[in-house]
């Protein structure tokens, strides 16, 4: 990975944060909420300028952003253009608009990915043969497989669709496999021994893709966004119930993954940015103090009670939640750094 690969983290983080805060900002303006500041990043300001009633600023620490609206501070509760003076539906939509923009961004990027990369071909035709599998030669490349080869059988088991390949290879658990291949009408056999990479046994081949229509790609983006979101929620439930281990990655780990995908090509980076945007949107909807989800939860309580909660107490809860989140980020970052150092 080159320095340029690592620097891709800046526009990736920046795009996701900008879209998130733009959602809050645009809907707040729509409902007539006064916005004091639209900021990307935290900490000391680097660049700022005023336009109308709003200050636009770029800050030194590029790990987030915020839209500071009038009326969210207890001292501004009587401001008619303040956030807390607006109806509950207006406040809820303003808060939800941030995560929604992350889902919208992901849908657009995944549509672009499908349009650029194409749709996966379900027939077992090799689309790409990898040279490196986790620091070791890939069996497929060593065995002479080529893009366009069609896998007919593996150890005598017929291969009808692409998904049959990882299934049969995984069941073999690293044992040598005799693979019957068709290449331009000529059949031949090759014996390959799968290698283990990150807990899975692979041959080092990738599925082929076929470019589809632009309009179909536009519909597939939202569909994939929904599918990934559903899988994320299921994984979270399984982690909370102890059915699977909790896997967290902080800014360092995410930056490393961005650099890895950037080094593999911009198409990979496109998919990863969409995936991270989905994660950002869903994470912000969790009912954790300081996140958008907790604001929505307090509004739900307000709607049930029929009267507003004490703003000072709500702000205090959000403040301590923010401190806990910063502490969690530090812990996860330490783990990412430790893993990176030991990995070397």
Output phi, psi for 56, to 5 deg.
-105, 125
Our answer to whether residue 257 is catalytic in this structure is: no
Q: At what angle do helices 88-117 and 214-240 cross, to 10 degrees?
A: 120
Q: How far apart are CA 285 and CA 250, in angstroms?
A: 18
Whether residue 276 contacts residue 256, with contact meaning beta carbons closer than 8 Å, is answered with no
Q: How far apart are CA 112 and CA 115, in angstroms?
A: 5
Longest dimension (CA), the chain: 80
Nearest to 182 by CA among 206, 151, 156: 151
Determine the 3-state secondary structure of 243 from DSSP. coil
Annotated catalytic residue, options 21, 53, 76, 302: 21
Token pair for 220: 């597939």
Q: How far apart are CA 188 and CA 152, in angstroms?
A: 10
Residue 116 burial (CB count, 10 A) = 14
Whether residue 261 contacts residue 61, with contact meaning beta carbons closer than 8 Å, is answered with no
Q: Give me the active site residues, please.
A: 21
């Amino acid at each position: 990975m080159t320095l340029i690969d690592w620097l891709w983290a800046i526009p990736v983080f920046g795009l996701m944060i900008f879209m998130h805060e733009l959602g809050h900002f645009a809907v707040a303006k729509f409902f007539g909420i006064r916005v004091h500041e639209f900021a990307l990043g935290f900490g000391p300001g680097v660049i700022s300028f005023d336009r109308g009633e709003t200050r636009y600023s770029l800050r030194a620490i590029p790990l987030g952003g915020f839209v500071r609206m009038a009326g969210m501070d207890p001292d501004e509760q009587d401001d008619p253009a303040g956030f807390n003076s607006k109806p509950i539906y207006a406040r809820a939509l303003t808060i939800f608009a941030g995560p929604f923009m992350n889902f919208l961004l992901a849908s657009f990027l995944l549509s672009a990915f499908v349009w650029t990369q194409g749709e996966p071909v379900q027939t077992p035709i090799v689309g790409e043969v990898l040279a490196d599998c986790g620091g070791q030669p890939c069996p497929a490349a060593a065995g002479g497989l080529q893009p366009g080869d069609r896998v007919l059988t593996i150890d005598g088991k017929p291969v009808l669709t692409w998904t049959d390949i990882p299934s049969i290879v995984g069941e073999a658990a690293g044992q040598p496999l005799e693979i019957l291949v068709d290449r331009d009408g000529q059949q031949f056999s090759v014996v390959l021994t799968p290698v283990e990479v990150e807990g899975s046994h692979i041959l080092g081949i990738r599925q082929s893709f076929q470019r589809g229509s632009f309009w179909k790609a536009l519909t597939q983006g939202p569909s994939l966004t929904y599918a990934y979101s559903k899988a994320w929620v299921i994984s979270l439930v399984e982690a909370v119930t102890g059915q699977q281990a909790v896997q967290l990655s902080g800014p360092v780990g995410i930056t490393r993954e961005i650099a890895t995908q950037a080094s593999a090509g911009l198409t990979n980076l496109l998919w990863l940015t969409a995936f991270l945007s989905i994660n950002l949107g869903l994470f912000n909807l969790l009912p954790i103090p300081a996140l958008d989800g907790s604001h929505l939860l307090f509004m739900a309580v307000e709607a049930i009670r029929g009267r507003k909660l004490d703003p000072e107490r709500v702000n205090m809860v959000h403040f301590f939640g923010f401190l806990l989140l910063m502490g969690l980020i530090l812990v996860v970052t330490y783990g990412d750094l430790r893993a990176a150092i030991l990995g070397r």
